[in-house]
């Protein structure tokens, strides 16, 4: 990246302004994986099987995967965090900062359900929630290196800070989302759910659809507005490259203060004066709703607004008010099943949440986390008595069309493979979210626009490799 992640670490006694700066940075970083809906509940504990449910009324199958967890006789302390009876898994989360418990909720739901059905070949899953509180990524990674078998179904906005320690201790990671380049492009990591793949232009298919098919009049009138931080500027640069490659031309490129804007009128007026027809917004959706209120108030309607998938929340349409119907807010879910779907896999996920985490809201990142848990359980079960980190990583990497039982578009999980190319677009209305008319051709998804490699990915930095810490895959046992 152009700036070191350490550049966003505040000194002791950080001001409210610097913390707001961090909030914008975290918010925008989450977009790289898939930003969060509103979470609920607590991530302080998430060990499965701590409820009063019996297994008699809980199916061990999920979607089209068949039996995911079950009784068995797997034995042996085959690796750190693995015993005859238990498998210890770490889950990273910024919950202490964001107050969004989605990764802990997903861990609780999955492990409770799995353990009720006998666990992974008889071994119960226990979970360590690694709450970074945004800035404590490295400290939590050091703890994980001493205790956990693997990392599953989590994410942290400043995840790049912990990669060196993770690779040094040979800890495999299967996250729900990744954010910084150092993590996006790192070794010994597989992201099971569809997400940005470093080296490929983010949201290229979405942008291609926007400027060539859905709203061609907007192609030469694109604008971008971004929270002013070193981290989000890099993400903004990626969006500009992706949009220009898709056929868009920028007439407006601006930053807003990370601490927020009390009066969005100057920004709205500049957008109108430049004749912007398509707007990309990076930052907190609460700020976007304020900008849109001014645009709507001056009767300026854009062809489209890419609200980024951090806004994919129940609260965003409510915050928009009149703008929910007046403006055209769109997000790309990048190939995960919408929460509004009535497909069997989503209905089953909702039923599991109702049973094991009543009151918790399912979020986009939670669906991604569940994908990670499902593939972990399948691979770990297949390893059986030979459950090692190398076996787990090999089994997950061998999945060439992973759909998480129907929760997502098919992904080839072999490390180094291109992203699937599937996308799906949701639109805001005053009644909530609904699918846009993006002409899906494979179920809920559209998969006929090929991903486009970055012209020069090195301009954004590089991920850490095992070689960077003096190790190789042969060291992974």
Domain ranges of the chain: 29-199+340-416+461-475, 204-333+420-452
Residue pointed to by tokens 């578009």: 409
pLDDT recorded at residue 381 = 97
CA distance 449 to 421: 6
CA-to-CA separations, 108 to 125, 134, 224, 284, 339, in angstroms, rounded: 10, 21, 38, 28, 19
For residue 289, count other CB atoms closer than 10 A to its CB: 22
Helix (H) or strand (E) holding 250: strand 250-256
Tell me how far the alpha carbon of residue 368 is from its chain's centroid. 7
Q: What are phi and psi of 174, to 5 degrees?
A: -130, 70
Q: Are 402 and 378 in contact (CB under 8 A)?
A: no
Does the predicted model carry a pTM greater than 0.85? yes
CA distance 186 to 189: 7
pLDDT recorded at residue 49 = 43
CA distance 311 to 313: 5
For residue 5, what are its two tokens?
């992640």
Q: Are 270 and 258 in contact (CB under 8 A)?
A: no
Q: Which CATH class is domain 204-333+420-452?
A: alpha beta
pLDDT recorded at residue 3 = 33
Q: Which DSSP symbol is given to 404? A: T
pLDDT recorded at residue 84 = 96
Helix-then-strand count for the chain, H and E: 15, 11
Q: Are 175 and 150 in contact (CB under 8 A)?
A: no
Helix axes 364-383, 389-397, angle to 10 degrees: 120
CA distance 293 to 306: 16
Q: Which DSSP symbol is given to 439? A: -
Q: Are 317 and 20 in contact (CB under 8 A)?
A: no
CATH superfamily of 29-199+340-416+461-475: Response regulator (3.40.50.2300)
CA distance 395 to 374: 13
pLDDT recorded at residue 52 = 39
Q: What are phi and psi of 231, to 5 degrees?
A: -70, -50
Question: Is there a shared CATH topology between the 29-199+340-416+461-475 domain and the 204-333+420-452 domain?
Answer: yes
pLDDT recorded at residue 33 = 47
CA distance 48 to 330: 36
pLDDT (tens, 9 = 90+) of the chain, 477 residues, equals 333 333 333 333 445 555 555 555 555 555 544 444 444 444 444 544 444 344 446 789 999 999 999 999 999 999 999 999 999 999 999 999 989 999 999 999 999 999 999 999 999 999 999 999 999 999 999 999 999 999 999 999 899 999 999 999 999 999 999 988 899 889 999 999 998 789 999 999 999 999 999 999 999 999 999 988 766 778 889 999 999 999 999 999 999 997 789 999 999 999 999 999 999 998 889 999 999 999 999 999 999 999 988 899 889 999 999 999 999 999 999 999 999 999 999 999 999 999 999 999 899 999 999 999 999 999 999 999 999 999 999 999 999 999 999 999 999 999 999 998 999 999 999 999 999 999 999 999 999 999 999 999 989 989 999 999 999 999 999
**In degrees to the nearest 10, what's the CA dihedral of 308, 314, 319, 322?**
90
Q: Are 31 and 282 in contact (CB under 8 A)?
A: yes
CA distance 472 to 465: 9
CA-to-CA separations, 116 to 52, 111, 124, 389, in angstroms, rounded: 10, 8, 9, 24
| Strand partners for 150 | 89
CA-to-CA separations, 85 to 9, 32, 195, 348, 399, in angstroms, rounded: 40, 37, 34, 28, 27
Q: Are 175 and 151 in contact (CB under 8 A)?
A: yes
């Amino acid at each position: 990246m152009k700036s070191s992640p350490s550049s966003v670490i505040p000194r002791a006694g950080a001001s409210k302004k610097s913390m707001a700066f961090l909030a914008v940075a975290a918010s925008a970083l989450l977009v790289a994986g898939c930003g969060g809906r509103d979470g609920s509940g607590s991530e302080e504990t998430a060990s499965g099987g701590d409820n009063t449910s019996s297994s008699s009324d809980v199916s061990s199958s999920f979607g089209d995967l068949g039996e995911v967890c079950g009784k068995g006789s797997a034995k042996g302390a085959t690796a750190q965090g693995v015993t005859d009876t238990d498998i210890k898994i770490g889950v990273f989360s910024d919950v202490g900062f964001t107050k969004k418990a989605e990764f802990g909720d997903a861990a609780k739901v999955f492990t409770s359900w799995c353990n009720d059905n006998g666990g992974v070949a008889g071994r119960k899953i226990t979970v360590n929630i690694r709450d970074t509180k945004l800035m404590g990524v490295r400290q939590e990674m050091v703890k994980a290196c001493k205790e956990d078998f693997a990392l599953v179904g989590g994410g942290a906005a400043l995840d790049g800070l912990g990669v060196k320690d993770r690779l040094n201790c040979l800890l495999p990671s299967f996250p729900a989302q990744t954010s910084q380049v150092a993590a996006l492009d790192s070794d010994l990591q597989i992201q099971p759910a569809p997400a940005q793949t470093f080296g490929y232009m983010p949201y290229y298919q979405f942008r291609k659809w926007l400027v060539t098919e859905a709203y061609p009049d907007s192609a030469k009138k694109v604008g971008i507005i971004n929270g002013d931080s070193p981290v989000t500027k890099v993400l903004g640069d990626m969006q500009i490259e992706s949009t220009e490659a898709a056929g868009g031309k920028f007439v407006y490129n601006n930053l807003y203060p990370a601490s927020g804007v009390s009066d969005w009128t100057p920004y709205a007026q500049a957008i109108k004066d430049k004749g912007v027809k398509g707007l990309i917004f990076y930052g907190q959706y609460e700020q976007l709703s304020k900008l849109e209120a001014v645009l709507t108030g001056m009767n300026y309607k854009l062809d489209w607004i890419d609200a980024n998938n951090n806004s994919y929340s129940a609260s965003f349409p409510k915050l928009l008010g009149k703008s929910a119907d007046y403006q055209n807010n769109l997000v790309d879910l990048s190939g995960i099943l919408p929460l509004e779907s009535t497909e069997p896999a989503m209905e089953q996920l909702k039923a599991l949440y109702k049973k094991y985490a009543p009151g918790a809201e399912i979020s986009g990142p939670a669906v991604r986390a569940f994908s990670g848990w499902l593939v972990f359980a399948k691979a770990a079960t297949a390893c059986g008595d030979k459950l090692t980190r190398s076996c787990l990583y090999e089994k997950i990497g061998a999945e060439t069309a992973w759909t998480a039982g129907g929760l997502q578009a098919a992904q080839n999980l072999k490390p180094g493979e291109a992203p699937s190319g599937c996308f799906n677009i949701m639109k805001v209305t005053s009644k909530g979210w609904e699918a846009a008319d993006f002409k899906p051709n494979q179920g809920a998804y559209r998969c006929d626009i090929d991903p486009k490699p970055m012209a020069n990915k090195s301009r954004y930095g590089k991920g850490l490799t095992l070689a960077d810490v003096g190790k190789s895959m042969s060291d992974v046992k």
